[in-house]
Amino acid sequence: HRRFDYRPKTDPYCQARYTFCPTGSAIPVMKEEDVIEVYRLQAPVWEFKYGDLLGHLKIMHDAVGFKSSLTGKNYTMEWYELFQLGNCTFPHLRPGMDAPFWCNQGAACFYEGIDDAHWKANGTLVLVTTISGTMFNEMAQWVKYDNETGIYYETWTVQASPDKKSTVWFDSYECSKFILRTYQKLADLGAVFKKIQTNYTSIILFSGEPIYLGNETSIFGPEGNKTLAAAIRDFYNPFKPHQSVREFFVDLFKIIDRVILNHQFYLFYNLEYWFLPMKSPYLKIIYEEVPLPVGSKASFGV
């Protein structure tokens, strides 16, 4: 996933259904000698059934919690879409504009408190490691960097086959990836993680080798490829970016339908368009184990 120099200003056209990070606050500076507990937080986004096609899906949202021993305060940190999931996955086809218009950014949100009931009710709230105040402050610096340079949300993982060792053409960049990066950063700073099973959701598309098509200017600009531009617009036509999570999944199944019938998918990734020659099983939503990281430094007492 490409890093960018800065986060672009958001276009006023992009309106969120829910305010991003409404109670967000700056990450506090912890006292160096503080001992901070780190919690893994996970809860279902929405559980649903869709005939026998995909059975019962575990679409989970991930976050990380912190508790300071010195102050007793709790904090939650998560990463999600600025304009909700539909906008990160589907563009707007605006009248008078040739190119599809994307309202796609993701960012970290940090706020005081952990909503225990939400995470415990049908999810996870479990202690994974303990860190010092110094490590927490170093992590906070890293979060700032990560946030300023990793700006686009990416819903899809694209790989060659369901095989575990299969080539990954494109990696997703969403809430769980941020949590995994945060854990890795803490491990690199010396955190020692408990040996517990940790699972994450991935939405995976299966494709032969992707074909590079170009960027917005080269496809939709004055010198662009009119046929290709029309095909991309046509592909995105059935989808509505402004929508609830439930409507998003209805659109997801429209995509599956098109992809399976036509064996094609147009992917917009890091501001570039790619054609994916789709192949069976086309799309899978998996919930699989990703182990907690092992650090590269000497450990801090747990």
Catalytic residue numbers read: 61, 175
> If you ran DSSP here, which 8-state letter would residue 52 be given?
B
Residue carrying structure tokens 């096609």: 53
Residues 249, 108, 148: CA angle, nearest 5 degrees: 115
* CA–CA gap between residue 171 and residue 181 (Å, rounded): 13
Residues 278, 235 contacting (CB under 8 angstroms): no
* CA–CA gap between residue 103 and residue 94 (Å, rounded): 12
- N residues, the chain: 302
> If you ran DSSP here, which 8-state letter would residue 40 be given?
E
Distances (CA, A) of 95 to 91, 92, 98, 101, 191: 13, 9, 8, 10, 52
CA 74, 179, 88, 288 dihedral sign is negative
* CA–CA gap between residue 38 and residue 8 (Å, rounded): 32
CA 249, 251, 255, 258 dihedral sign is positive
Q: What is the distance, to the nearest Å, from the Cα of residue 256 to the centroid of all Cα atoms in its chain?
A: 20
Q: What is the dihedral of CA 259, 264, 268, 270, to 10 degrees?
A: 110
